[in-house]
Protein backbone atom coordinates (compact mmCIF):
# COMPACT_ATOMS: atom_id res chain seq x y z
CA UNK A 1 0.00 0.00 0.00
CA UNK A 2 1.10 3.54 -0.71
CA UNK A 3 1.40 6.10 2.08
CA UNK A 4 1.37 9.89 1.96
CA UNK A 5 4.68 11.08 3.38
CA UNK A 6 4.49 14.74 2.39
CA UNK A 7 2.91 17.14 -0.09
CA UNK A 8 4.38 19.88 -2.25
CA UNK A 9 1.50 21.97 -3.55
CA UNK A 10 1.44 25.56 -4.73
CA UNK A 11 -1.97 27.23 -4.92
CA UNK A 12 -2.83 30.50 -6.62
CA UNK A 13 -4.19 32.23 -3.52
CA UNK A 14 -1.83 30.57 -1.04
CA UNK A 15 -0.26 32.93 1.52
CA UNK A 16 2.00 30.54 3.44
CA UNK A 17 3.00 26.98 4.25
CA UNK A 18 4.07 25.07 7.35
CA UNK A 19 5.17 21.45 7.73
CA UNK A 20 4.68 19.97 11.20
CA UNK A 21 5.58 16.54 12.48
CA UNK A 22 2.63 14.91 10.76
CA UNK A 23 0.68 17.70 9.01
CA UNK A 24 1.25 19.92 6.01
CA UNK A 25 -0.56 23.24 6.42
CA UNK A 26 -1.42 25.56 3.53
CA UNK A 27 -2.46 29.08 4.52
CA UNK A 28 -4.96 31.22 2.63
CA UNK A 29 -5.21 34.44 4.62
CA UNK A 30 -7.41 33.72 7.65
CA UNK A 31 -8.19 30.20 6.40
CA UNK A 32 -6.01 27.13 6.21
CA UNK A 33 -6.04 23.69 4.64
CA UNK A 34 -4.50 21.02 6.86
CA UNK A 35 -3.31 17.83 5.19
CA UNK A 36 -3.04 14.87 7.57
CA UNK A 37 -0.10 12.95 6.15
CA UNK A 38 0.78 9.36 6.98
CA UNK A 39 3.98 10.41 8.77
CA UNK A 40 4.33 9.08 12.29
CA UNK A 41 6.33 10.56 15.14
CA UNK A 42 7.34 9.32 18.57
CA UNK A 43 9.49 10.95 21.22
CA UNK A 44 9.25 14.10 19.03
CA UNK A 45 11.09 12.33 16.20
CA UNK A 46 9.56 11.65 12.78
CA UNK A 47 10.04 7.95 12.03
CA UNK A 48 11.42 6.95 8.61
CA UNK A 49 8.40 5.03 7.30
CA UNK A 50 4.93 6.46 6.71
CA UNK A 51 1.90 4.41 7.79
CA UNK A 52 -0.88 3.76 5.24
CA UNK A 53 -4.26 5.24 6.24
CA UNK A 54 -2.89 6.83 9.43
CA UNK A 55 -3.60 10.36 8.19
CA UNK A 56 -7.17 9.50 7.24
CA UNK A 57 -7.78 7.90 10.63
CA UNK A 58 -6.51 10.97 12.49
CA UNK A 59 -8.38 13.41 10.27
CA UNK A 60 -11.73 11.67 10.49
CA UNK A 61 -11.62 10.91 14.22
CA UNK A 62 -10.64 14.52 14.94
CA UNK A 63 -13.50 15.85 12.80
CA UNK A 64 -16.02 13.69 14.65
CA UNK A 65 -14.82 14.77 18.08
CA UNK A 66 -14.59 18.43 17.12
CA UNK A 67 -18.25 18.21 16.14
CA UNK A 68 -19.11 16.38 19.37
CA UNK A 69 -17.46 19.01 21.58
CA UNK A 70 -18.42 22.24 19.80
CA UNK A 71 -20.95 23.01 22.53
CA UNK A 72 -18.11 23.16 25.10
CA UNK A 73 -15.69 25.42 23.21
CA UNK A 74 -15.71 26.76 19.64
CA UNK A 75 -13.19 25.10 17.34
CA UNK A 76 -11.29 25.83 14.17
CA UNK A 77 -12.90 23.30 11.79
CA UNK A 78 -15.07 24.42 8.85
CA UNK A 79 -15.07 21.55 6.34
CA UNK A 80 -13.61 18.11 5.65
CA UNK A 81 -13.52 17.94 1.84
CA UNK A 82 -11.24 14.89 1.64
CA UNK A 83 -10.40 11.95 3.94
CA UNK A 84 -6.98 13.52 4.58
CA UNK A 85 -7.91 17.22 4.53
CA UNK A 86 -9.55 19.63 6.96
CA UNK A 87 -10.30 23.27 6.18
CA UNK A 88 -10.53 25.71 9.07
CA UNK A 89 -9.94 29.14 10.48
CA UNK A 90 -6.45 30.29 11.35
CA UNK A 91 -5.91 31.07 15.03
CA UNK A 92 -2.93 32.39 16.96
CA UNK A 93 -1.93 29.27 18.96
CA UNK A 94 -1.04 29.35 22.62
CA UNK A 95 2.54 28.02 23.01
CA UNK A 96 1.52 25.20 25.38
CA UNK A 97 -0.27 21.86 25.17
CA UNK A 98 -2.84 21.04 27.83
CA UNK A 99 -2.27 17.39 28.75
CA UNK A 100 -5.03 15.87 30.87
CA UNK A 101 -4.38 12.60 32.69
CA UNK A 102 -6.92 10.38 34.39
CA UNK A 103 -4.61 7.38 34.91
CA UNK A 104 -0.98 6.82 35.86
CA UNK A 105 0.59 5.55 32.67
CA UNK A 106 3.04 6.47 29.94
CA UNK A 107 5.26 9.45 30.70
CA UNK A 108 3.56 10.05 34.06
CA UNK A 109 4.27 6.47 35.14
CA UNK A 110 7.91 6.73 34.06
CA UNK A 111 8.30 9.88 36.18
CA UNK A 112 6.49 8.25 39.12
CA UNK A 113 8.51 5.04 38.85
CA UNK A 114 11.71 7.08 39.09
CA UNK A 115 10.65 8.12 42.59
CA UNK A 116 9.27 11.59 41.88
CA UNK A 117 5.89 12.50 43.29
CA UNK A 118 5.35 15.81 41.52
CA UNK A 119 4.56 16.33 37.85
CA UNK A 120 3.98 19.79 36.39
CA UNK A 121 3.10 21.18 39.82
CA UNK A 122 0.66 18.34 40.58
CA UNK A 123 1.40 16.16 43.62
CA UNK A 124 0.81 12.44 43.13
CA UNK A 125 -0.03 10.19 46.10
CA UNK A 126 2.19 7.31 47.19
CA UNK A 127 1.19 3.72 46.60
CA UNK A 128 -0.01 3.93 43.02
CA UNK A 129 0.72 1.24 40.47
CA UNK A 130 1.09 1.57 36.73
CA UNK A 131 -2.29 2.20 35.05
CA UNK A 132 -4.08 2.98 38.32
CA UNK A 133 -6.71 5.73 38.14
CA UNK A 134 -5.66 9.05 39.65
CA UNK A 135 -7.81 10.50 42.46
CA UNK A 136 -9.11 12.97 39.86
CA UNK A 137 -7.96 14.07 36.40
CA UNK A 138 -4.95 16.38 36.47
CA UNK A 139 -3.51 18.82 33.93
CA UNK A 140 0.19 18.40 33.18
CA UNK A 141 1.02 20.96 30.49
CA UNK A 142 4.00 20.92 28.17
CA UNK A 143 5.67 23.61 26.14
CA UNK A 144 5.27 23.44 22.37
CA UNK A 145 8.75 23.19 20.94
CA UNK A 146 9.20 24.24 17.31
CA UNK A 147 12.22 21.96 17.25
CA UNK A 148 13.35 19.22 19.63
CA UNK A 149 11.40 17.99 22.63
CA UNK A 150 8.38 19.45 24.38
CA UNK A 151 9.10 20.07 28.07
CA UNK A 152 6.95 19.59 31.16
CA UNK A 153 5.85 22.85 32.75
CA UNK A 154 3.42 23.84 35.50
CA UNK A 155 0.48 26.16 35.13
CA UNK A 156 2.12 28.60 37.53
CA UNK A 157 5.27 28.66 35.39
CA UNK A 158 3.21 29.21 32.24
CA UNK A 159 1.65 32.32 33.73
CA UNK A 160 4.86 33.54 35.41
CA UNK A 161 6.81 33.25 32.14
CA UNK A 162 4.13 35.16 30.26
CA UNK A 163 3.37 32.26 27.93
CA UNK A 164 -0.37 32.60 28.58
CA UNK A 165 -2.15 35.41 30.47
CA UNK A 166 -3.55 34.25 33.82
CA UNK A 167 -7.20 34.81 32.85
CA UNK A 168 -6.77 32.89 29.61
CA UNK A 169 -4.96 30.06 31.36
CA UNK A 170 -7.84 29.60 33.78
CA UNK A 171 -10.16 29.26 30.78
CA UNK A 172 -7.82 26.73 29.15
CA UNK A 173 -7.86 24.63 32.33
CA UNK A 174 -11.66 24.72 32.51
CA UNK A 175 -12.03 23.86 28.83
CA UNK A 176 -9.49 21.03 29.02
CA UNK A 177 -11.21 19.36 31.99
CA UNK A 178 -14.66 19.74 30.40
CA UNK A 179 -13.39 18.26 27.13
CA UNK A 180 -11.79 15.37 29.01
CA UNK A 181 -15.08 14.68 30.80
CA UNK A 182 -16.92 14.62 27.45
CA UNK A 183 -14.23 12.41 25.93
CA UNK A 184 -14.49 10.05 28.90
CA UNK A 185 -18.25 9.81 28.43
CA UNK A 186 -18.00 9.15 24.69
CA UNK A 187 -15.25 6.57 25.20
CA UNK A 188 -17.33 4.75 27.84
CA UNK A 189 -20.17 4.44 25.33
CA UNK A 190 -17.76 2.58 23.02
CA UNK A 191 -16.37 0.27 25.73
CA UNK A 192 -13.20 2.29 26.18
CA UNK A 193 -11.47 4.26 28.94
CA UNK A 194 -9.94 7.61 27.98
CA UNK A 195 -6.66 7.44 29.87
CA UNK A 196 -4.99 10.69 28.90
CA UNK A 197 -5.00 13.18 26.06
CA UNK A 198 -3.75 16.57 24.97
CA UNK A 199 -5.58 19.67 23.80
CA UNK A 200 -4.29 22.70 21.96
CA UNK A 201 -5.96 26.09 21.88
CA UNK A 202 -5.66 29.28 19.90
CA UNK A 203 -7.19 32.73 19.91
CA UNK A 204 -8.76 35.20 17.52
CA UNK A 205 -9.31 38.55 19.17
CA UNK A 206 -10.74 37.79 22.60
CA UNK A 207 -12.19 34.41 21.66
CA UNK A 208 -10.49 31.10 22.47
CA UNK A 209 -10.77 28.19 20.05
CA UNK A 210 -9.95 24.50 20.28
CA UNK A 211 -7.46 23.72 17.51
CA UNK A 212 -5.53 20.78 16.09
CA UNK A 213 -6.79 17.20 16.58
CA UNK A 214 -8.95 15.86 19.40
CA UNK A 215 -9.13 12.39 20.98
CA UNK A 216 -7.15 10.69 18.21
CA UNK A 217 -4.63 7.85 18.70
CA UNK A 218 -1.81 10.38 18.24
CA UNK A 219 -3.11 12.71 20.94
CA UNK A 220 -4.81 10.25 23.30
CA UNK A 221 -4.47 6.93 25.04
CA UNK A 222 -7.36 4.49 25.53
CA UNK A 223 -7.76 1.28 27.53
CA UNK A 224 -10.41 -1.32 26.81
CA UNK A 225 -12.94 -1.15 29.65
CA UNK A 226 -13.60 -4.90 29.49
CA UNK A 227 -10.97 -6.65 31.58
CA UNK A 228 -9.48 -3.46 33.02
CA UNK A 229 -10.25 -4.24 36.66
CA UNK A 230 -9.21 -7.90 36.34
CA UNK A 231 -5.94 -6.99 34.63
CA UNK A 232 -5.19 -4.33 37.21
CA UNK A 233 -5.90 -6.67 40.14
CA UNK A 234 -3.61 -9.32 38.64
CA UNK A 235 -0.86 -6.86 37.74
CA UNK A 236 -1.20 -7.63 34.04
CA UNK A 237 -0.64 -5.06 31.25
CA UNK A 238 -3.75 -3.31 30.04
CA UNK A 239 -5.05 -3.81 26.52
CA UNK A 240 -4.88 -0.37 25.02
CA UNK A 241 -5.49 1.55 21.83
CA UNK A 242 -3.06 4.40 21.32
CA UNK A 243 0.30 5.26 19.86
CA UNK A 244 1.90 3.95 23.07
CA UNK A 245 2.47 0.55 21.44
CA UNK A 246 4.78 2.31 18.95
CA UNK A 247 6.70 3.96 21.78
CA UNK A 248 6.96 0.63 23.61
CA UNK A 249 8.34 -1.04 20.48
CA UNK A 250 10.91 1.75 20.07
CA UNK A 251 11.95 1.54 23.74
CA UNK A 252 12.35 -2.23 23.48
CA UNK A 253 14.69 -1.60 20.55
CA UNK A 254 16.80 0.95 22.41
CA UNK A 255 15.30 4.20 21.13
CA UNK A 256 13.74 7.01 23.18
CA UNK A 257 14.66 9.98 21.01
CA UNK A 258 17.90 10.71 22.81
CA UNK A 259 21.04 11.97 21.09
CA UNK A 260 23.09 9.17 19.60
CA UNK A 261 20.20 6.69 19.48
CA UNK A 262 19.29 5.20 16.11
CA UNK A 263 15.69 4.63 15.06
CA UNK A 264 15.18 0.86 14.67
CA UNK A 265 14.35 -0.42 11.20
CA UNK A 266 10.64 -0.57 10.40
CA UNK A 267 10.06 -3.41 7.96
CA UNK A 268 6.86 -3.94 5.95
CA UNK A 269 5.38 -6.21 8.63
CA UNK A 270 5.90 -3.57 11.33
CA UNK A 271 4.32 -0.90 9.12
CA UNK A 272 1.28 -3.10 8.51
CA UNK A 273 0.92 -3.86 12.23
CA UNK A 274 0.88 -0.14 13.00
CA UNK A 275 -1.57 0.61 10.18
CA UNK A 276 -3.92 -2.14 11.36
CA UNK A 277 -3.82 -0.81 14.92
CA UNK A 278 -4.78 2.69 13.76
CA UNK A 279 -7.73 1.29 11.81
CA UNK A 280 -8.76 -0.80 14.83
CA UNK A 281 -8.80 2.30 17.00
CA UNK A 282 -10.86 4.20 14.43
CA UNK A 283 -13.52 1.50 14.38
CA UNK A 284 -13.56 1.10 18.16
CA UNK A 285 -13.71 4.82 18.93
CA UNK A 286 -16.25 5.78 16.27
CA UNK A 287 -18.30 2.59 16.17
CA UNK A 288 -18.13 2.79 12.36
CA UNK A 289 -16.55 0.54 9.77
CA UNK A 290 -13.39 2.09 8.36
CA UNK A 291 -13.60 2.85 4.66
CA UNK A 292 -10.24 3.72 3.19
CA UNK A 293 -10.14 6.70 0.88
CA UNK A 294 -7.73 4.84 -1.38
CA UNK A 295 -3.95 5.02 -1.48
CA UNK A 296 -3.56 5.47 -5.24
CA UNK A 297 -3.08 8.97 -6.68
CA UNK A 298 -3.57 10.51 -3.22
CA UNK A 299 -1.65 13.69 -3.92
CA UNK A 300 -3.74 14.61 -6.97
CA UNK A 301 -6.96 13.80 -5.11
CA UNK A 302 -5.94 15.96 -2.15
CA UNK A 303 -4.73 18.83 -4.33
CA UNK A 304 -8.02 18.90 -6.24
CA UNK A 305 -10.07 18.91 -3.02
CA UNK A 306 -8.13 21.85 -1.55
CA UNK A 307 -8.27 23.80 -4.80
CA UNK A 308 -12.02 23.35 -5.17
CA UNK A 309 -12.80 24.13 -1.53
CA UNK A 310 -10.59 27.19 -1.13
CA UNK A 311 -11.95 28.68 -4.36
CA UNK A 312 -15.43 28.32 -2.89
CA UNK A 313 -14.69 30.13 0.39
Whether residue 37 sits in one domain with residue 165: no
- Is residue 157 included in any domain, yes or no? yes
- Is residue 155 included in any domain, yes or no? yes
Residue 245 banded pLDDT, cuts 50, 70, 90: confident
Domain of residue 206, CATH code: 3.30.470.20
CB 209 within 8 A of CB 203: yes
CA of 65: how far to CAs of 75, 105, 198, in Å? Answer: 10, 23, 13
Whether residue 103 sits in one domain with residue 82: no
Whether residue 222 sits in one domain with residue 281: no
Whether residue 109 sits in one domain with residue 242: yes
Whether residue 181 sits in one domain with residue 132: yes
Whether residue 150 sits in one domain with residue 210: yes
Which of the 8 DSSP states describes residue 222? E
Phi, psi angle pair for 142, to nearest 5°: -130, 155
- Is residue 1 included in any domain, yes or no? no
Q: Give me the number of domains the chain comprises.
A: 2
- Is residue 177 included in any domain, yes or no? yes
- Condensed to tens digits (0 to 9), the pLDDT of residues 162-180 reads 999 999 999 999 999 999 9
Whether residue 104 sits in one domain with residue 69: no
Whether residue 22 sits in one domain with residue 47: yes
Whether residue 21 sits in one domain with residue 72: yes
The residue segments making up the domain with residue 74 are 16-92+264-312
Whether residue 273 sits in one domain with residue 217: no
Phi, psi angle pair for 266, to nearest 5°: -105, 105
Whether residue 168 sits in one domain with residue 39: no
Torsion angle of alpha carbons 304, 305, 308, 312, nearest 10°? -160
Whether residue 230 sits in one domain with residue 111: yes
- Condensed to tens digits (0 to 9), the pLDDT of residues 116-169 reads 999 999 999 999 999 999 999 999 999 986 655 679 999 999 999 999 999 999
The rounded Cα 171 to chain-centroid distance in angstroms is 21
- Is residue 255 included in any domain, yes or no? no
- Condensed to tens digits (0 to 9), the pLDDT of residues 18-54 reads 999 899 999 999 999 999 999 999 888 899 999 999 9
CB 222 within 8 A of CB 281: yes
Q: Is the dihedral of CA 54, 237, 190, 177 positive or negative?
A: negative
- Is residue 11 included in any domain, yes or no? no
Domain of residue 51, CATH code: 3.30.200.20
**Does pLDDT of 295 surpass 70?**
no
- Is residue 132 included in any domain, yes or no? yes
Amino acid sequence: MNALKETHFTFKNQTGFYRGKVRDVYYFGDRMAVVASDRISAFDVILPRAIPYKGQVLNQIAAQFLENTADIVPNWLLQVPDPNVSIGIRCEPFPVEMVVRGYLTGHAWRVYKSGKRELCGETLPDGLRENDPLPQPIITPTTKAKEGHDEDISGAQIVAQGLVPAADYRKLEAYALALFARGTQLARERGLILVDTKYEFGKIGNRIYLIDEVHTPDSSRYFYAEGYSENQAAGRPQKHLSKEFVREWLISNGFQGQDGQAVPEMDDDRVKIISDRYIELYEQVTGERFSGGGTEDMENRIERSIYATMNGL
